[in-house]
Every structure is written in C-alpha cells, then in structure tokens.
C-alpha cells in the first residue's frame, strides 16, 4: 500500500489495459454500469463506466452479488485534487 504524496491518504495502484498505473482508493465501491459517465477500475474487467451505487440500490444479498465492484481513481476523492495537473501544464498562478 502506498500513500498519496499530496494528501497523505492510503492508495493502491492499478495497471490499465495500456500498461499505465493509476492511483486508486483502496476500498472498492459498488458501480451501476451504464448510468453515468465516471470510470471505475477493476482487475478482472478493466474499466467500468457508470456511477456509484446509492446504499438503497445494494441492500440485499442478491444486489450485492449482481452489482459490480470498481475502484475509484484517487484524483476524484483527493482533497488536494485541484493541485493535480497534466505533464506540461503550468502550475496555477505561474506564468
């Protein structure tokens, strides 16, 4: 387990189909596929596109079995996410 250098929270790393590694939050979340445009990552299926499931959507054992789990990219939950930038972009406030 690693730690985010910006916020200090624990993170894991997942490898994408392209071979790149992305930081993810360590606990998987239930995902409602096709009902949203957020990406979630899994080891088995690659990328899931959808939205986080609301608690009332996964209450029964059957719901939990049939609803996929995905890992949230850490940059979506990091409190320092405004500080992220792509390679080549300048830091905010600098010319």
Render pLDDT for 9-21 as a digit per residue (tens, 0 to 9).
999 999 988 889 9
* Residue at 95 is within a domain: no
* Residue at 89 is within a domain: no
Give the total number of structural domains in the chain: 1
Check: CB of residue 35 under 8 Å from CB of residue 68: no
Check: CB of residue 74 under 8 Å from CB of residue 27: no
The whole model's pTM is what? Answer: 0.80
Q: How far apart are CA 40 and CA 45, in angstroms?
A: 10
Check: CB of residue 14 under 8 Å from CB of residue 44: no
* Residue at 88 is within a domain: no
Q: Check the CA dihedral 59-44-72-8 and report its sign.
A: positive
Range of the domain at 52: 2-83
Give the containing element (helix H, strand E) for 63.
Answer: helix 61-66
Could you read off the pLDDT of 38-86 as tens digits, one per residue?
Answer: 999 998 888 999 999 999 999 999 999 999 999 999 999 999 876 655 5
* Residue at 90 is within a domain: no
């Amino acid at each position: 387990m690693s730690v985010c250098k910006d916020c200090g929270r624990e993170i894991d790393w997942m490898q994408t189909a392209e071979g790149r590694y992305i930081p993810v939050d360590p606990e998987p979340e239930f995902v409602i596929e096709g009902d949203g445009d957020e990406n979630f990552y899994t080891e088995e299926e690659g990328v899931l596109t959808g939205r986080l499931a609301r608690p009332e959507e996964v209450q029964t054992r059957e719901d939990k079995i049939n609803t996929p789990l995905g890992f949230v990219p850490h940059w979506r939950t990091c409190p320092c996410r405004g500080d992220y930038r792509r390679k080549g972009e300048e830091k905010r406030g600098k010319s």
